Structure 1
């Protein structure tokens, strides 16, 4: 239906000619051609002032078609609505084309093509349409043959030499590029701003260029001028400033800053007695900005009369220390409806060091349907979590200098979770100590879980569940049994992530049980009847797990982009464990995986599930592969569309009777990669994104017939369709 609508509206776009005045033309397309292959014309597209109507998925002019469905009479509501939802025809403007030629010429000049020229040609088509072709005639490229410096300020000349300033931009033999020359100005300006020159800016730097007739060589001279106040005063040497006193004062409701002096000093990167440094000023803002208790920071410098000394005054405005929040929720687990609510108390400055202490109490209730043979038909969950967050590294023997340079968070968390189901009761106690920090650029972040303890206790299992699933000889399931036993997990983990907007990746590694296993070996501890070491008579898990996730965004234009994603995870149980804990196992299918399958509906390998139905326990594995490609397009208002292809699956490392066909084998795994395709709608409300995805199976590794295997050629909506609702983008 969606494709039919797109075709209808696209065809309708052809009737947009009724909105094109006589003598005008619809701008159908724009191209850039160059006389030389050395220029990437795609990089020049942003300089085109006038482009054709936008296209959905870079193919269909649906917005124009929507507009064309309207009539000329704007007094009618339907016409106004269609025009508001659509996009009016873009009429070719010769003045805009001439200005584009000038812009493109200037860009080419800035790239070293000093004598470049640009013109355009029109290719008229039927039905009042026209294509514009911009022709680039770059000519020869000019190169820098020599670089000279005219530093008119002696003190700055001395600073540049003594501090050993090195240019990373200019070099002899490189093409003459205005952007490189401007980057050199900015680099020198940043260098001087970080060496005491508060009032220096790049306008104090200029260039002169000399060329020789008949040659493409250019001699460059960089001029650094003396200080000019702008009040008609004579030129003087630029002032180099040193930091004097550092003072702190409260802004807002507090007469006194509610932070210890040591905390203020630790987050102040500016240092008395040192030269003024613009980077240290920004770092100081950043350090105070990351403290939850701090609302905003205002830093001002006061020049002492007749001196080169600046006193620093740091004003701190703080948030309310205590807060209480209440959050209701609605839940839906496989069709079972319920409600939940949480109450959170937070103190943002519990030890007067910007430490955040919070206590969260949560309760949930769900009415379970379709469950027979059990006395209670309800699910209840209660949890209590206490968290203490330190805005610094809490590690003994760290120097003050290291603490100042780091931007870390230390976190202590303790929680207790109580789950009461008709089949069993489950208790989970967790305690963890972890660190989080970012690098200087802010693009990389790190996490280190020094210790993460999980104690899983099963105080009660119903007789019905135990007899039918755990003790039944004919239905014995080792994976199922393992996940309903008491278990102790002691984890150590490290993770790193990177994100620059266009590219992102995550790496996570964790291991559990090695320390306890080593201690057990040293002490000569006895093993239980399952040949496992225990802690307080409870077996502990032992495994290693690694995950890698990569995403690349390719922008075609302002409305269309392509997202590429790959994810790989491997977990290996060993030593004290033959099976991974349920919480650490992988599953496939769902809104963030292969979207032709429902959550936990795919794999492992070619395993079909139990009796053709989704098997919550057995459709898990030790290896996961996700491959996704998604074409995203802006449609209208806050609505975006997506077309996607997903591939992947999960596998087990060992062969388990309960998961026939689920073991990973190099000779077979590629045959077991599932493939899905589909369409999605996103509502982007800036603060959050609502996502609806409709996926169809294309290649199903768990099949009973050839038609089911290659579902893309034999689609069955009732068998192959999956609908997903989620918040946020899939990757």
Structure 2
């Protein structure tokens, strides 16, 4: 029985420094010139310039410091390329050789659980005759994994082929069976002898047509094959894909990636590959010339059985459908199809057409085909045929959940959502959602005899989503990128037992679009939220009275705002991934302008709308994530966040929901949520002290070294630093205002964590360790936490922190 693999043994790995081949011809020539000159001097065959020539020849044999530095840099670059090529090949080889034994720990190929429950049930019930025994065998037994199941002979062949794919042409992979004390068990030990790495030498493109060759030449700077780079089959495949993309983008609709092939010679120069990039000799004629767009034909059904009994032609579109009206208006088709009749075919237009059609979200079946207009040899027109079947008009979603909070409140929640698709024959979706929850307090948290009538919430939302820009002017123009518009209105009734009853309502209009797949724009030109507290408890009033600033941020008010968010994510071909998100939001300026027109002063506060003051602020945030793979096991992930909110005009404090806070599972993990700041302020230890630990400015930096331990288990060690500050002085929170002296008050934490990747989600366990608190303590120095155990924080979360 197979019980795992030993550590894979590698020999001849590229660990030594690689020496670059010197220009021996130039050195020998210089030495010969010096020798000839010396002979002339000794024989008396000299003139006035002989000694100068000897000096010049001697100097020519020496390298300048710049030349030596360039040579050293070239050597370092070559060593780095060798190491990277080996690490990449090693990762794939180990993936080929890996095979988990029975009861492997987190999918590891070498670690097993000491409790072999699956095998025990197998041995005990494999021959069971009773119904119970068969059920136990079916549910809990695990068949043993044998060495023959692993098939090491096949695996070493695949591993050796993998090494060859990365330029290690003379590599060998072997194995041996290691018997254990138990003669029925064995391990497999693999050895990998890594041969010398071969590199690309000369690279030439031959035999392409004149127009194709011109396109390839114009993109020469983007070639993926470079002289001196390690040989890689992956690079060859990527270059095939690149060439195919260029040609298809410029009219060659029928060109396939594998129509590009290679001729390689490894004999001319040892460990080097002379390469020719050529088209296959038997390419179909349709693939060797560009194509142009013809007529567009659209067949659309409401269901599979509907007969198409109506047809009409509008401009370059011919529609065939059933019934009196098309299920989807013709303007939607014209807006989605990005090709124009008579234009050169572009793959980008095809991709955008599919994206926009799918973005409409009303089709149960969709097929887009490009068909030559006729079979003539000189035909160069592609007609577009679109076949579509409409999906169901209505769908609904019902959810149930149970909440258990740290304040000893527990209760159920329900939500129901109904959607009507293609509501107005333009791909629109109308959604109505109603939700509610109920919580009661138990145990030591019960405050009174009527605690069973605790907290509840009831709310609803109505939204209209359009698969395009929906605006009086913009909608008239044909936009060549996917977009979506959503209008929403919502209301919420919320009672928090022992504190307050709150009624809130809001409406918003949001536009989402992206011209490039990795650049998302989100614009909310209108967002209005209204909060109104109906009644409050003595406890709540006392908390607000103790903190006037908090009371202002949580008062009844309108929040009329507009915002814009830009998100950039690096594309898949980038080895180092980068995400940048910029967000800007302003509130109250439009209403303040109306008051200014009516003669009210700009700085006059408590200006009201329908009896309630409105918030006025500007908020900006910037966030960046950068991930750097170090090798096949380790990855360094970093994050930077900066944000500021400035309240002015009608208010000096931003709404509580807009303020920043620090600490917690996705922030400075050495501290619990909302226990840092603002600035050097240290709150008391009351039950509600966390409420006032928010700020107007936030700076945070995180770094995390992630390691693949084995199987599906990953580890991490991290360090976080950050804090929040106030824009203005607050007597109740001394030291909270941002200044040169308080900017140094940064909370710092470190820790370790485990992540278990279930593919569809990641379970995260982090142990945060506080290193430096931003406030004064009884200890001096960088580590100033009073008790080590007070700086230990355990976090359980879903997903990575950044």
Scaled by the length of structure 1, the TM-score of the pair is 0.78
Task: Work out whether residues 592 and 602 of structure 2, in 8 Å CA contact, stay in contact via their aligned partners in 1.
Answer: no
Matched, 1:300 2:369: yes
1:341: how far off? 1.4
Deviates more, 1:374-383 or 1:86-95: 86-95
**Equivalence for 1:232:** none
Secondary structure of 1:602's partner? coil
- Pick one of 568, 572, 581 that aligns with 1:498: 568
1:351-500 matched pairs, under 5 angstroms? 351-368=424-441, 370=445, 378-398=454-474, 402-403=478-479, 405-421=480-496, 422-440=498-516, 442-462=517-537, 465-466=540-541, 468-470=542-544, 475=546, 477-499=547-569, 500=571
- Pick one of 267, 282, 300 that aligns with 2:336: 267
Distance 1:173 1:711 in 2: 55
Secondary structure of 1:588's partner? coil
Change (3 A) 1:209 1:170: farther
**Equivalence for 2:423:** 350
Deviates more, 1:573-582 or 1:646-655: 646-655
Describe the superposition over 1:234-281 as per-residue Cα deviations: whole angstroms up to 9, x where unpaired: x89946544333222235447346211111221122333334443322
Secondary structure of 1:546's partner? strand
Describe the superposition over 1:173-215 as per-residue Cα deviations: whole angstroms up to 9, x where unpaired: 8447676665554444333334443333344444557899789
Secondary structure of 1:706's partner? coil
**Equivalence for 2:731:** 657
Scaled by the length of structure 2, the TM-score of the pair is 0.72
Matched, 1:193 2:248: yes
Matched, 1:44 2:89: yes
**Equivalence for 2:6:** 26
Describe the superposition over 1:87-123 as per-residue Cα deviations: whole angstroms up to 9, x where unpaired: 99999979966875665455338xxxxxx7557899x
Matched, 1:75 2:123: yes
1:399: how far off? 7.1
**Equivalence for 1:329:** 401
Distance 1:173 1:64 in 2: 39
Aligned-pair Cα RMSD in Å: 4.7
**Equivalence for 2:202:** 144
Deviates more, 1:183-192 or 1:217-226: 217-226
Distance 1:75 1:209 in 2: 55
Distance 1:190 1:623 in 2: 46
Distance 1:20 1:461 in 2: 66
Task: Work out whether residues 523 and 565 of structure 2, in 8 Å CA contact, stay in contact via their aligned partners in 1.
Answer: yes
1:63: how far off? 6.7
Describe the superposition over 1:136-161 as per-residue Cα deviations: whole angstroms up to 9, x where unpaired: 5347x66438x56434xxxx535765
| Unaligned residue ranges in structure 2 (runs of 5+) | 19-78, 101-105, 126-136, 181-186, 307-321
1:721: how far off? 4.0
1:378: how far off? 1.8
Describe the superposition over 1:368-388 as per-residue Cα deviations: whole angstroms up to 9, x where unpaired: 564758988622222121111
Task: Work out whether residues 497 and 505 of structure 1, in 8 Å CA contact, stay in contact via their aligned partners in 2.
Answer: yes
| Unaligned residue ranges in structure 1 (runs of 5+) | 1-17, 55-59, 110-115, 230-234
Describe the superposition over 1:274-317 as per-residue Cα deviations: whole angstroms up to 9, x where unpaired: 34443322322221112221233112344444342433221113
Task: Work out whether residues 551 and 564 of structure 1, in 8 Å CA contact, stay in contact via their aligned partners in 2.
Answer: yes
Deviates more, 1:450-459 or 1:498-507: 498-507
Aligned residue-pair number: 679
1:162: how far off? 9.3
Q: Who wins on radius of gyration, i.e. which is larger?
A: 2
1:516: how far off? 2.9
Describe the superposition over 1:361-409 as per-residue Cα deviations: whole angstroms up to 9, x where unpaired: 1222222564758988622222121111111112333376642x02111
Task: Work out whether residues 604 and 663 of structure 1, in 8 Å CA contact, stay in contact via their aligned partners in 2.
Answer: yes
Secondary structure of 2:526's partner? strand
1:583: how far off? 0.7
**Equivalence for 1:112:** none
Distance 1:62 1:216 in 2: 36
Deviates more, 1:194-203 or 1:161-170: 161-170
Deviates more, 1:324-333 or 1:184-193: 184-193
Task: Work out whether residues 87 and 631 of structure 2, in 8 Å CA contact, stay in contact via their aligned partners in 1.
Answer: no
Distance 1:75 1:237 in 2: 61
Structure with greater helix percent:
2
